[in-house]
Amino acid sequence: SQTIHQWPATLVQPVGSPLSLECTVEGTSNPNLYWYRQAAGRGLQLLFYSVGIGQISSEVPQNLSASRPQDRQFILSSKKLLLSDSGFYLCAWSRAGHEQYFGPGTRLTVT
């Protein structure tokens, strides 16, 4: 069976500090990978998605970047965090079709 991991689970970072969130998927190969941000328990905002190693599509211009150094690894980064980067970050994967499977999320608080 497939599993998806995210870490850390929670993170408190000062404004201007760097960020690295990691997501890994087990039990499948060549998945589509996604990063979302969710504010205040509401809808999901798609930030980045990747259909293969080194292939990144950005949906929203912002202070963040993404990389996919390995088939089942997806990383969300920032060089300098802003207060507005606070939120709940979710990683997801999908295979054929559009059904997506989400990780447990990372709660980021920028202070």
Partner 1 sequence: TQLLEQSPQFLSIQEGENLTVYCNSSSVFSSLQWYRQEPGEGPVLLVTVVTGGEVKKLKRLTFQFGDARKDSSLHITAAQPGDTGLYLCAGPVGYSTLTFGKGTMLLVSP
Binding site for partner 1 (CB under 8 A): 32, 34, 41-44, 46, 49, 51, 59, 90, 92, 94, 97-105, 107
- Angstrom CA distances, 93 to 12, 56, 59, 63, stand at 26, 14, 16, 23
Q: Output the smallest distance, CB 32 to partner 1, in A.
A: 6
User: Which CB sits closer to partner 1, 9 or 83?
Assistant: 9
- Angstrom CA distances, 6 to 15, 34, 67, 96, stand at 22, 12, 15, 22
The token duo for 55 is 């292939």
Q: Output the smallest distance, CB 88 to partner 1, in A.
A: 8
Give 77: exposed, middle or buried? Use CB within 10 Å, 0-12, 13-18, 19+: middle
Q: Output the smallest distance, CB 101 to partner 1, in A.
A: 7
User: Which CB sits closer to partner 1, 41 or 69?
Assistant: 41
User: Which CB sits closer to partner 1, 73 or 94?
Assistant: 94
Q: Output the smallest distance, CB 36 to partner 1, in A.
A: 8
